[in-house]
Structures are given as C-alpha cells and as structure tokens.
Amino acid sequence: MKESFKEKIRLWKDLYIRAFENATSALPRVRGVLLAYNTNIDAIRYLDKEDLERRIEQIDKEKVFSLIDSPPERITSLEELFGGILRSIKLGKAMEWFVESEEVREYLKEWGWDELRIGGQAGIMANLLGGVYRIPTIVHVPQNPKLQADLFVDGPIFVPIFENNELKLVHPKEAVMTEEELIHYIYEFPRGFQVFDVQAPRENRFIANADDYNARVYMRKEFREYFKGIAEKVDLAVISGLQVLKEYYPDGTTYKDVLEKVESQLNILNRLNVKSHFEFAYTANEKVREALIGMLPKFTSVGLNEVELSSVVQIIGDESLAKEVLEGNVFSVIDAMNLLMDETGIERIHFHTYGYYIELTQYRGERIRDALLFAALAAAAKAMYGNLENLSQVRNALSVPTNERAFIIEEELEKEFAEVENGIIDMTDRQLTFIPTKIVASPKSTVGIGDTISSSAFVSEFAMRG
Ligand code: 8BR
Ligand code: GLC
C-alpha cells in the first residue's frame, strides 16, 4: 500500500473518532425536528431463489421475462410484479412500482414478509432521530393504524393531535386509529443473487407500493390546519415524499395543488426561522421534478445521490454533464453541485454516493466534516444491523474500514484545488467538504441507508453550530 494511504487511514481514523464525540455531545442541543410527509409500513422479504422460481413457474414465465426489458413501471398483474423484481435483480437497481390491482395486493399480503419496519423517509428518520438520537421529533403519519404505530420505537417521537381545540403531542402508539395499513412490499436481494439465468451485480431491492395515501402526499388535518402550532415547537424540519407526485390525477387535481400547500408550510417554517432540508428522491415525472427544483430556494438544504443529482442536471444543465454525474466523475459532481447552488441560492447541498460524500455550503466550519463523518458511521451501522437501536451501534461502526478507493479521489481533489485540508476545500465564497465513507462488506439490508445519511448529517451539523 502507498505510504500516503497508510497516513490517510490513520488521519481519517482520528477524524472519525473525534467527529463521533463532537456530534453525539451536540445532539441534545436540538429542541425539536419536524418530519413530513411520508410514513408507511415496510414489509421486508429477503428473496429466496427456490420460492421465487416456483412462483414464476406458476404464472406466465415467458411474459415475466419479456417485461424485464420493457418495464411497465406499475403493477396490474402478477407477471408485472415478477417482471419488476427480475428487472431490479438483473440491473442491481432499486425500483419502486405502484400496485394498481387489488388481486395482486391480496397476493402480496399472502406471500407475507420476514420483517416489518417503519417506512417512508419521514418514518425512518423518526425512529432514528427520536429513537436513537433521542431528539424530540414530530412526524407526519398519513394513517395511524396499530400495525404501523407499533413499529415506532419508544422515545420522544410524537404525532400532533387536537383535543378540545388544543394541540397535543403524543407518541403514535397513543394515537392509534382504525385507519388503513399503507404497506410497501420490499424485496431485498444480496449481490450475486441468482434466479433462473438472472444474476444481481450488486445488492438492492424492489418495492411494490400498495399505498394510496402517500402516493398523493395525503396530509392529515392537523398538518393542514394547525401547521404553525406544530412548527413553533421545532428548530429543524426535513421534508420528503414529494417524489411520487403525478402530473394529473383522475379527479382533475394536479401536483401543483399539493405543492401549493407544501409551499405555504415552507413559508411558515421560514418565518419562524426553522432550518429546512429537502430529501430529494428520484422523481420520475419531469414536470414535477422541475417544480421541486423550483421550490429549492425556500429550503436551507438539499440531499441527493448520484441518480438524483444527474436527474436535476437534466433539467438545469445539459445531457453530457448529467451523464458524467451518473458515471461518478467527481469533478462533474462538483460542477453540478455548484450549478445547482447558482440556480437556486440554496445554502447547503449534500451529495452522497457509494464510498464518499461531498457537501457544498455557503458557510464554513469543521463541523460540516464532522457531521458527514457522523452520518457515514450511522450509515455503516444501518447497513450492519438493518435496524438501529442505540448510539453504541453507531460507535461500533468505527471499526468498519474506511473506503480506501476514496483516497484516490481525495488525491485528485488535492491536485486540483490549492487549499485542501483534511477534506475541507476553500472555494473563496463556498466551502466544499469531502469525506471517504465506511463500507460494510455484507450489509443486512439496503433500504433506508440514504435517509439515515441525510438526516444524520443535517441534524448533527446544525446541532454542532451551537
Ligand atoms: P440512496 O438510497 O439515497 O442511494 O442511499 C444509499 C447510500 O447508502 C449510498 O449512497 C451509500 O453511500 C450507502 N451504502 C450502500 Br447503498 N451500501 C452500503 C454499505 N454496504 N455500507 C455503507 N454504506 C452503504
Ligand atoms: C421510499 C419507499 C419506502 C421506503 C423509503 C426508504 O419512500 O416508498 O417504502 O421506506 O423509500 O428510503
């Protein structure tokens, strides 16, 4: 190994240890976080080769295979369900299709699951921020049936309810309603997983989404009518779940109707000086994507991965830059982040990909790097354990090796930029912060790692601001 790499290993190890201490001692300073809008039930099944092959043999196998390369992107039959699962395996890509058929929904329920977890970006972040970091967290739940409420861990996690015209915050378990179970069926597969002649190049998951509420960004009455009272109780907010919006709905409403409500809530957050983060998930519809980019000036911060950043560049930049971002060229990623900041004026952009994170900010400080390092520990812990329950699991991730491939990228950055110090790059009016992450060799599951990264970094960075 190169001498310089040995040094880097030592250096980043020390930085990681210090970041964990700094971040965890700052977390109690956060008064409250608001998480909206998508919470659901994730029913996770770890795919089994024999079971899957048998199920496909029982239906029109040829049809299933024909759908692998001409994806319907939604599910109206069992052939489409299995076509989607095989496509996701073949490409090693995460996919999420909506289940339109009642018959398939019944089938999915009967097929069952290995594990139920809270799902949706808001739900996942609630169990992390409230349950693990012990920060008071208010979460939006479109529906609150017992099956879902029981998946929230104990801790300062709250949903707002109104009693005698008064806003009260209670744990979701204390506000259970006879409401719908919004289930997302998640089929996880490991790298190398093989079914017939289809093999997974990497671990990932296929999601069959049987949830009519989050698909329209349904907002509970408490959030529609008493948002200000809720927002007054927090310092920070994370908004997610807008990726599913469609251009038109059968009843004549459009995505614009939903975004208008979201914008008025953002205006309230801004008036109250609540810092807000937008978790940018892949948004298939280009009009909706463009509208979401148009809303970014109202946010303090945005988080995205390579697929999402590339999809943003398709709108605000050009095809060749979008392609380079997707291919993982780090200088193209930085160009794209600068472009997005120029276009929207947003103060903070956090990019995460397999092996490293980069953040671009209109302010400076070592806490930005500490927050990214803390987030990488949380991500590695999430990959290791699947469900995070306490901070000592996050500390255990210190023992996962730091990704050495990212050192090559760090050296490229050191060659390109004059001022680079332990991942911090001074760009006169902006700071660029780079960190190598920790990669877990055989992750337990992949769902929710991105949410863990973004929320851990955003919340701990603002906590460390003091
Ligand atoms: P998205 O779902 O938003 O793409 O986030 C997934 C992120 O999880 C990746 O960017 C990567 O940083 C992280 N990740 C994955 Br995928 N597998 C991991 C692993 N085995 N160990 C640590 N982080 C991982
Ligand atoms: C999407 C899925 C949800 C999953 C989440 C993880 O929101 O619909 O099921 O929990 O992504 O990030």
Pocket of ligand 1 contains residue 191 by CB under 6 Å: no
Structure tokens at 46: 């770890």
What pLDDT, on the 0 to 100 scale, is given for residue 444?
Answer: 86
Q: Is 207 near ligand 2, meaning CB less than 6 Å away?
A: yes
Assess whether 135 and 72 both reside in one domain.
Answer: no
Domain identity same for 173 and 286: yes
Distance from residue 410's CA to the centre of ligand 2 (Å): 31
Three-state secondary-structure class, residue 190: coil
Q: Report pLDDT digits (tens) over 170-190.
A: 999 999 999 999 999 999 999
Q: How far apart are the first and last CA of the chain?
A: 40
Identify residue 21 by its one-letter amino acid code.
Answer: E
The predicted pLDDT at position 447 comes to 87
User: Does the Cβ of 99 fall within 6 Å of ligand 2?
Assistant: no
Task: Tell me, yes or no, whether 295 and 202 share the same domain.
Answer: no
Give the pLDDT confidence score for residue 162 in this predicted structure: 87
Q: Which domain holds residue 383?
A: 3-40+120-180+213-463
Same domain, 34 and 51: no
Reported pTM: 0.96
User: Of ligand 2's atoms, which has the minimum distance to the CA of residue 240?
Assistant: 7
Choose which residue among 39, 93, 99, 121 to substitute to test ligand 2 binding: the one with the highest number of ligand atoms within 8 A of its C-beta. Answer: 121
d(CA 248, ligand 2 centre) in Å: 22
Catalytic status, residue 197:
no
Residues 176 and 193 in one domain: no
Both 193 and 174 in one domain: the answer is no
The number of the ligand 2 atom at minimal distance from the alpha carbon of 123 is 10
Give residue 464's pLDDT: 98
In the reported structure, the alpha carbon of residue 42 is separated from the centroid of ligand 2 by a whole-number distance in angstroms of: 8
Residues 64 and 138 in one domain: no
pLDDT tens-place values along the chain, 466 residues long: 677 889 999 999 999 999 999 999 999 999 999 999 999 999 999 999 999 999 999 999 999 999 999 999 999 999 999 999 999 999 999 999 999 999 999 999 999 999 999 999 999 999 999 999 999 999 999 999 999 999 999 999 999 998 888 889 999 999 999 999 999 999 999 999 999 999 999 999 999 999 999 999 999 999 999 999 999 999 999 999 999 999 998 899 999 999 999 999 999 999 999 999 999 999 989 999 999 999 999 999 999 999 999 999 999 999 999 999 999 999 999 999 999 999 999 999 999 999 999 999 999 999 999 999 999 999 999 999 998 999 999 999 999 999 999 999 999 999 999 888 999 999 989 999 999 999 999 888 888 999 999 999 999 999 999 6
Residues 157 and 243 in one domain: yes
Dihedral class, residue 394 (left if φ above 0, else alpha if ψ from -120 to 50, else beta): alpha
List, for residues 262-285, the tens digit of each pLDDT value: 999 999 999 999 999 999 999 989
CA atoms within 13 A on the CB side of 8: 23
Taking a C-beta distance cutoff of 8 angstroms, is the pair 373, 435 a contact? yes
Backbone angles phi, psi at 404, to 5 degrees: -70, -25
Q: Are residues 198 and 228 in the same domain?
A: no
Q: Tell me, what's the pLDDT at 1?
A: 64
Structure tokens at 451: 């949410």
CATH number at residue 84: 3.30.1110.20
Residue by residue, DSSP assigns 114-128 as: SEEEEESHHHHHHII
Count of structural domains within the chain: 2
Q: What is the pLDDT of residue 80?
A: 98
pLDDT of residue 165: 82
